[in-house]
Amino acid sequence: MKLDQHHIDSFNSDSHKDHDRAFLHLADKVPDIQYVLQQLQEFQVAIPSWALGTGGTRFGRFSGGGEPRNLEEKIGDVGLLHALNRSSGSISLHIPWDIPENAPAIKALAAQHDLRFDAVNSNTFQDQPGQAHSYKFGSLHHTDKAVRKQAIEHNIEVVKYGIELGSDVLSLWLSDGSNFPGQLNFRQAFQRTLESLQEIYAALPDDWKLYIEYKCSEPNFYSTTIADWGQSLMLANKLGSKALTLVDLGHHLPNANIEQIVALLLMEGKLAGFHFNDSKYGDDDLTVGSINPYQLFLIFNELVEGMDARGMRHATDLGWMIDASHNVKDPLEDLLQSVEAIMIAYAQALLVDAKALEAARQSNDVVTAQEILQEAYRTDVRPLVAQARLLSGAAIQPVKLYRSLKVRDQLIRERGAKTVATGL
């Protein structure tokens, strides 16, 4: 299904008055409001093709109905999100869950929804039907050269799909690791991973990038071969300028100072971008901002400051993507909430008085430094984010409009109540 612009416009005109009042009140207090609105309008967050179905855990999966049955329907779902918020203008494909059999047709369909293709993702953490070698004991780090070769070739194949779709990033996450002490020689596993990555890197077009994601645990529970940002950065540095470190917010040990990691990777020009989610205990893949919105703000504060210091464009010079799973929510509502949380944290970071903060730091005025950050964080910027949406032709309140149009009911009528999307 596709949303008509007149649905959005008439919804907006109904809620215009309250919104205008809230926005004007806030706009008075923001010195460079036009700049902030323009930055917010430009900012786009990619939606992963695997997040459009109801997620599950290793214990069970409870489908919500109307899930997209194929790539075309997944593109349709992202198109709905983008129509509602104008901030979800790209889709990130996961191969082989979503193979674009007919790339020109898929590209044309995406263009109809005003979408482009973000990073393409490989998968060497599952065995696929008919696959010659198993990834049970890893892929790029595997002791058997034949397994490594198969995983390398898969990644190169993913790049080829990406080229056809106009993507320019291969995003790679390995489940490689070990479950028990003694299982793996750490140095050799790292070295084999590096050599495998070198082959993949050599096959990348000049204008492509390779994002190397790290994760401290799971599915292996004793060691993971790319466990943290240091290990990812070591690989990225050895590979070359096209290789960068990807930060997934859920892939850290508890209480890790992610904002500091981000600041230093940015400083080194080695930050690829983000997989946004939130978590309480581990890689929980919860809605962005649902548990620790202050941390998200602090991360965006480092991003804005660090990108400005390097003269980078916020919207396009890093990769922004959601990587979450929705066990109990409507995936589309959850994604709308996640994008909203990202925009709120970004807007708050844009409000930080950077000059005053720097002055407070120079004079070691710790209290003022904290006050400056919290002044921005405690500002209710939702009318600002809504105004940016309004200016872009999106809904003032996307979730409310989604519900009032009964989008999920329509999708269930179109697709059926028991459809299951490929993905997590």
Nearer to Mn ion, 212 or 357 (CB): 212
Binding segment toward Mn ion, per CB under 5 A, in 153-161, 292-300, 317-325, 408-416:
317-325
Q: How is 167-203 classified by DSSP, letter by letter?
A: --EEEE----EESSTTS--HHHHHHHHHHHHHHHHHT
- The terminus-to-terminus CA distance of the chain in angstroms comes to 24
Position of tokens 């070591």?
234
Out of 67, 77, 98, 248, name the contact with Mn ion by CB under 5 A.
248
Indicate whether 118 belongs to the interface with Mn ion (CB under 5 A): no
Nearer to Mn ion, 290 or 348 (CB): 290
Encoded one letter per residue, x for contact with Mn ion by CB under 5 A and - for no contact, window 195-234 reads: ----------------------------------------
Min CB(116)–Mn ion separation in Å = 20
Nearer to Mn ion, 325 or 397 (CB): 325
Query: Among residue numbers 267 through 306, which ones bind Mn ion (CB under 5 A)?
Result: 275
* Closest to 137 (Cα-Cα) out of 424, 291, 338, 146: 146
* Closest to 285 (Cα-Cα) out of 246, 259, 330, 251: 251
Min CB(278)–Mn ion separation in Å = 13
Instruction: Give me the residues paired with residue 61 across strands.
Output: 56
Size of the site for Mn ion (CB under 5 A): 3
Q: 169: exposed, middle or buried (C-beta count within 10 Å: 0-12, 13-18, 19+)?
A: buried
Tokens for 285, please give them.
């893949």
3-state secondary structure of 243: strand
Nearer to Mn ion, 98 or 323 (CB): 323
Q: Alpha-carbon distance 219 to 260, whole Å?
A: 26
Nearer to Mn ion, 79 or 273 (CB): 273
Amino acid at 367: V
Pairing between strand 177-178 and 223-224?
antiparallel
- Rounded to the nearest 5 degrees, what angle is found at the Cα of 412, between the Cα atoms of 408 and 416? 160
Tokens for 421, please give them.
């999307």
Out of 73, 285, 323, 333, name the contact with Mn ion by CB under 5 A.
323
Binding segment toward Mn ion, per CB under 5 A, in 80-88, 315-323, 360-368, 380-388:
315-323
Binding segment toward Mn ion, per CB under 5 A, in 138-146, 216-224, 322-330, 356-364:
322-330
Min CB(248)–Mn ion separation in Å = 4
Nearer to Mn ion, 141 or 275 (CB): 275
Q: Alpha-carbon distance 296 to 289, whole Å?
A: 7
Binding segment toward Mn ion, per CB under 5 A, in 59-67, 99-107, 246-254, 363-371:
246-254
Position of tokens 């080829």?
160
Nearer to Mn ion, 115 or 246 (CB): 246
Interaction site with Mn ion (CB under 5 A)? 248, 275, 323
